[in-house]
Amino acid sequence: MKLYLDFQPCQECNIMMAELSSPEMLFADAKTRADESAKFLRHLTYNHNEVVQAVMNDLPKQKRNQEFDFFK
């Protein structure tokens, strides 16, 4: 899944994006790439509320699971 985000990246974002697109990272093993991507997503989640809101608005809403009988 790809998301195209329109936001103003901070200095830390720019550094992380440069690292993620470096040749060393492109040819790194899957675990290393996943760890670095997760670090970047954590940064976006905790430091850029506008990104979180944009993602929440674009993702389809999930229906709430029906309650089980013993909750009634």
pLDDT, tens only, 29-48: 999 999 999 999 899 889 98
Answer yes or no: is 33 within a domain: yes
pLDDT the model gives residue 7: 81
Answer yes or no: is 29 within a domain: yes
Answer yes or no: is 65 within a domain: no
Answer yes or no: is 6 within a domain: no
pLDDT the model gives residue 67: 59
Answer yes or no: is 1 within a domain: no
Q: Is-contact 43 16, C-beta < 8 A?
A: yes
CA 18 to chain centre: 16
Answer yes or no: is 30 within a domain: yes
The CA distance from 62 to 65, in Å, is: 9
The CA distance from 27 to 6, in Å, is: 27
Query: How many CB atoms are closer than 10 A to CB 52?
Result: 13
Q: Can you give the residue range of the structural domain that contains 30?
A: 11-57
- The total of structural domains in the chain comes to 1
pTM above 0.85, yes or no: no
Answer yes or no: is 63 within a domain: no
72: tokens are 């009634």
